[in-house]
C-alpha cells in the first residue's frame, strides 16, 4: 500500500519512516468479502487501484481541506487548523 501511495504521489521511499513494531501488532491484515458477495450480491464500486488514485487526486486538488500551511489556518489550534469540527465547542 505504501509503495502504491508513493508512486501515485510521485515520491520515493525517503519519506517513509520505519518504526518498531508494537507488542501484539498484527503483521498482516486480510479481508475475505466472499460471504457478502455471495449472500448479498455485494461488489465494490471501484477497484483499489482506481479508488486510491482518485482519492490521491482529490486530496491534491483540495489542499485547503487538509494542509495546515494554507492561508487562513488557525495558528492557535493544536493541529494548526480549526475547520469547525470540534465537539460542541467553538474555538
What's the pLDDT tens digit per position in 36-73? Answer: 999 999 999 999 999 999 999 999 999 888 888 756 55
Closest residue by Cα to residue 8 from 68, 55, 45, 71: 55
**Residue 59 to residue 57: CA distance in whole angstroms:** 6
Q: What is the pLDDT, as a whole number, of residue 48?
A: 92
Residue 75 has pLDDT above 80, yes or no: no
Contact 22, 67 (CB under 8 A): no
Amino acid at each position: 500500500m505504501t509503495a502504491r501511495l508513493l508512486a501515485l504521489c510521485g515520491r520515493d521511499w525517503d519519506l517513509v519512516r520505519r518504526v518498531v513494531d508494537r507488542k501484539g501488532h498484527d503483521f498482516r491484515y486480510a479481508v475475505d468479502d466472499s460471504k457478502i458477495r455471495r449472500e448479498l450480491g455485494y461488489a465494490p464500486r471501484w477497484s483499489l487501484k482506481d479508488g486510491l488514485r482518485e482519492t490521491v487526486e482529490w486530496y491534491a486538488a483540495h489542499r485547503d481541506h487538509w494542509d495546515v500551511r494554507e492561508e487562513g489556518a488557525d495558528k492557535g489550534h493544536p493541529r494548526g487548523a480549526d475547520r469547525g469540527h470540534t465537539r460542541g465547542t467553538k474555538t
